[in-house]
Chains A and B, each alone.
Chain A
């Protein structure tokens, strides 16, 4: 007789328990492949402990998603009328939706390419890893698992990907009910998505960077379905007032982890060399294939083996960048955006990149930018008197913590000394603003 519960030890959450149906999904090819995809690409070259994989993160997201579902649907936690309405109208199928939430959480990353986000630019136009995830969940590869678990693939994919990755300018348009929006928010939501909670805690643990820790147990305990502060007819995921400090700590954890780990300049330099290597390695297309068979056949293992080979053989595609990775001859940071220069010219980093490329050759210069994708500071908070108000009215910290945004200009190590001298002499002139009139 099949064991009804399976247990897996996890350094972040203790024991993660699965049903037999969930275990089957975990044992499927798309999930097992994640054992060989690093969570943080080549960040382990900066933080040696950061060798963890998407596999354990997926388990962690499933565990947390189940916990959040239990909290926000618990009858004792339905303080707002909108929560009572929306949960009440799904009362007869709560077990079904709990299963969908956990499976969607488990599968939310199966479309990731080798080395996760680092290689995302090498997908064909119009493709992101979410689209591959969608294809795998709704395709033939996983159909039997959904049948066994008695869930609809379309429900799983909607919650795994979320409404923002569908639409007229995306690969397909899908309509979400308010209930489905809330459930997908549990997984991929900007403010309290468990994807983010797990990766902050896990990345922090493995990188050895304590900044990513926050009181996730308290935060999860205070999550509630609440009315939107501007429109009481729309449900949103928010918190009880007692969770505000845990929410602030989550925001700060995110801020510092982005600054310290995700946008560490050396890590970004290695990402650049990895991407350039992959472009050569994937010739003639220079892009990753998107079909399920080809996708499932590639993980970090194949890429790392190819990098090792190419690093020592000049004739192999991608030799230059493979050698830079293996021999640690990565590009060096020469300029980073800063408030003083940006007060002079918001495009200062771009103008420096352009100038350095002209002086030292485009092949010796690399520009990297990250622009924030969401604004997670405004969410409803349930006060002791029963009112739901906007979080920004309660927390100065939320208001004043800016989203992380970075711009780096890198230079080849062979040109570093000359480029530093050049910038020291000419920077003020280079960053002078130019507008549409002078173009």
Chain B
């Protein structure tokens, strides 16, 4: 995947997140891109680390800065209690329109992620993505072990919420498998 294709996918993802009513701040984009790569197997080639709010990719942060520098994204403050929204500009459309094959190839995955995660807030995304990261890094862990690990690395997440996150991730992952396989 070329750099332009990766940016086109990110812009298309953000456009769909907006359509689903997402706040579409950096954390929302970070998590949606994480799920796109790690759950839907879209090869974005992102280095993912455990950071603020769970999984985080410095590569996404860099891409968002590049898109701002290219005047494809505007930073829009909306509410002092939260971070800004990232809004697409007219120039952003040019890039997605130039990569129709790439967008078509990952269309189902993009729709799936925006539909499942578009309305979630930062805390919900943090719970689910952290649980998913732990399950993905060590698939042999039992549910109880995943819950314990979530609580260990994110002590502010209550155990019941961590357990609920594991259940939800399993359900969503099952649905995602169908989307990934339909692309093969």
Partner of A375, one of B46, B68, B82: B68
Which residues does chain B contribute within 8 Å of A168, judged by CB atoms? 47-49
Give the shortest distance, in Å, between A353 (CB) and chain B (any CB): 15
In contact, B53 and A375 (Cβ under 8 angstroms): no
Which residues does chain A contribute within 8 Å of B154, judged by CB atoms? 233
Contacts A175-B153, A392-B83 known; A436 to B47 CB distance under 8 Å?
A: no
Partner of A390, one of B80, B91, B153: B80
Which residues does chain A contribute within 8 Å of B122, judged by CB atoms? 230-231
B116-156: contact bitstring with A at CB < 8 Å (1 yes, 0 no)? 00000011001000000000000000000000000001101
B97-131: contact bitstring with A at CB < 8 Å (1 yes, 0 no)? 11111100000000000000000001100100000
Q: CB of B175 within 8 A of chain A?
A: no
A41 to B126 alpha-carbon distance, docked (Å):
42
Q: CB of B58 within 8 A of chain A?
A: yes
Which residues does chain B contribute within 8 Å of A403, judged by CB atoms? 65-66, 68-69
Q: CB of A234 within 8 A of chain B?
A: yes
In contact, A405 and B97 (Cβ under 8 angstroms): no
Partner of A378, one of B4, B58, B79, B83: B83
Which residues does chain B contribute within 8 Å of A233, judged by CB atoms? 154, 156
Which residues does chain A contribute within 8 Å of B164, judged by CB atoms? none
A229 to B85 alpha-carbon distance, docked (Å):
13
Q: CB of A102 within 8 A of chain B?
A: no
How many residue pairs link A and B with beta carbons under 8 A? The number is: 129
Give the shortest distance, in Å, between A180 (CB) and chain B (any CB): 11
Contacts A342-B70, A392-B84 known; A372 to B47 CB distance under 8 Å?
A: no
Residue of B nearest to A377 (CB): B75
Which residues does chain A contribute within 8 Å of B81, judged by CB atoms? 229, 389
Partner of A392, one of B47, B77, B156: B77
In contact, A163 and B51 (Cβ under 8 angstroms): yes
A147-181: contact bitstring with B at CB < 8 Å (1 yes, 0 no)? 00000000000000001101111100101100001
Tier of interface size on chain B: 35 or more
In contact, B84 and A231 (Cβ under 8 angstroms): no
A399 to B62 alpha-carbon distance, docked (Å):
17
Which residues does chain B contribute within 8 Å of A231, judged by CB atoms? 27, 52-53, 122-123, 126
Partner of B83, one of A163, A169, A230: A230
Partner of A436, one of B50, B68, B102: B102
A233 to B156 alpha-carbon distance, docked (Å):
6
Give the shortest distance, in Å, between A387 (CB) and chain B (any CB): 8
A434 to B4 alpha-carbon distance, docked (Å):
12
Q: CB of A437 within 8 A of chain B?
A: yes
Contacts A230-B82, A230-B122, A375-B61 known; A392 to B75 CB distance under 8 Å?
A: yes
In contact, A375 and B99 (Cβ under 8 angstroms): no
Partner of B68, one of A236, A343, A347, A402: A402
Q: CB of B94 within 8 A of chain A?
A: yes
Query: In the complex, which of the residues B83, B84, B156 has the most CB atoms of chain A within 10 Å of its own CB atom?
Result: B83
Q: CB of A373 within 8 A of chain B?
A: yes
In contact, B69 and A435 (Cβ under 8 angstroms): no
Contacts A167-B47, A234-B53, A390-B83 known; A404 to B95 CB distance under 8 Å?
A: no
Which residues does chain A contribute within 8 Å of B177, judged by CB atoms? none
A339 to B69 alpha-carbon distance, docked (Å):
11
A125 to B145 alpha-carbon distance, docked (Å):
36
Give the shortest distance, in Å, between B67 (CB) and chain A (any CB): 9
Within 8 A of B (CB), among A132-157: none
Residues of B within 8 A of A (CB): 4, 25-27, 45-53, 58, 61-62, 64-66, 68-71, 75, 77, 79-84, 91, 94-95, 97-102, 122-123, 126, 153-154, 156
Residues of A within 8 A of B (CB): 163-164, 166-170, 173, 175-176, 181, 228-231, 233-234, 236, 339, 342-343, 346-347, 371-375, 377-378, 387, 389-390, 392-393, 399, 402-405, 433-437
- 5 of the cross-chain contacts (CB-CB < 8 Å) are A168-B49, A342-B70, A372-B62, A392-B83, A437-B100
- Given A163-B49, A399-B84, A437-B100: 7 more A-B contacts, CB < 8 Å: A167-B49, A228-B52, A372-B62, A393-B84, A403-B65, A405-B70, A436-B101
Give the 6 A-B residue pairs with the shortest CB-CB distance, closest first.
A405-B69, A233-B156, A169-B47, A372-B65, A435-B98, A167-B49
